[in-house]
Amino acid sequence: MKKLKVLKLLAVLFCIATTAITGCSSNDEKVTAFISKGDQLFIAGESDKAILEYKNALQIDPHNSRAKMALGKVFKEKRQAKKAFSYFSEAVEIDPDLDEARIELASLYAKARLGENALEILKEIKSSENFEPRCSIIKAQAYISDSKFKQAVDVLKIIPGYDSNSEALGLLSICQKELGQYNEMKETVNIWRKLAPGVTTSYVFMARFAKEQGNHDQVAKEINSMINAGLDNHDIGLFGAQMLERFGLTAEAEKAYSRLPGVPEMLRAKAGFMLRQGKNDQARAVLEKIISRNPDDIQGVVLLSRILASMNEQGAALDLLDKTLGMDLAGADTEPLILEKAEIKAGQGKPEEAGQLCDLVLKKNQGNIDAHYLMGRIFFQQQEMEKAEIHLNQVAAARPEDGSAWILLARSQLLGHKDVLAEDTLKML
Whether the per-residue pLDDT at 9 is higher than 60: the answer is no
Q: How far apart are CA 429 and CA 412, in angstroms?
A: 16
Q: CA 185 → CA 95, 190, 209, 226, distances in Å? A: 42, 9, 11, 18
Predicted confidence at residue 34, as pLDDT, reads 86
Query: Of 332, 356, 390, which one is at a domain's C-terminal end?
Result: 332
Residue count (the chain): 429
* Domain residue limits at 273: 263-332
Same domain, 271 and 326: yes
Residue 364's Cβ-count burial label (10 Å; 0-12, 13-18, 19+) is: exposed
CA geometry: angle 203, 204, 207, nearest 5 deg: 85
pLDDT digits (tens, 9 = 90+) for 159-213: 999 999 999 999 999 999 999 999 999 999 999 999 888 789 999 999 999 999 9
Q: How far apart are CA 262 and CA 241, in angstroms?
A: 15
Query: Of 282, 304, 332, which one is at a domain's C-terminal end?
Result: 332
Whether the per-residue pLDDT at 6 is higher than 60: the answer is no
Give residue 220's identity as a one-letter amino acid code: A
**Are the C-beta atoms of 115 and 146 separated by less than 8 Å?**
yes
Predicted confidence at residue 25, as pLDDT, reads 56
Angle subtended by helix axes 216-229 and 234-246, to nearest 10 = 170
Predicted confidence at residue 332, as pLDDT, reads 67
Q: How far apart are CA 329 and CA 302, in angstroms?
A: 15
Structural domain total, the chain: 2
pLDDT digits (tens, 9 = 90+) for 373-386: 999 999 999 999 99
Check which CATH number belongs to the domain holding 394 and give it: 1.25.40.10
pLDDT digits (tens, 9 = 90+) for 318-368: 999 999 999 887 766 889 999 999 999 999 999 999 999 999 999 988 889
**Are the C-beta atoms of 173 and 161 separated by less than 8 Å?**
no
Query: Of 280, 300, 332, which one is at a domain's C-terminal end?
Result: 332
Ranges of beta strands (E only) in 222-264 are none
Dihedral Cα 239, 245, 250, 252, nearest 10 deg: -30
Q: What is the pTM of this model?
A: 0.72
Give percent of the chain above pLDDT 90: 62
Same domain, 378 and 319: no
Whether the per-residue pLDDT at 299 is higher than 60: the answer is yes
Whether the per-residue pLDDT at 55 is higher than 80: the answer is yes
The 8-class DSSP code of residue 16 comes to: H
Same domain, 370 and 416: yes
Q: Is residue 324 part of a domain?
A: yes
pLDDT digits (tens, 9 = 90+) for 58-104: 898 889 999 899 999 999 998 888 889 999 999 999 999 999 999 99
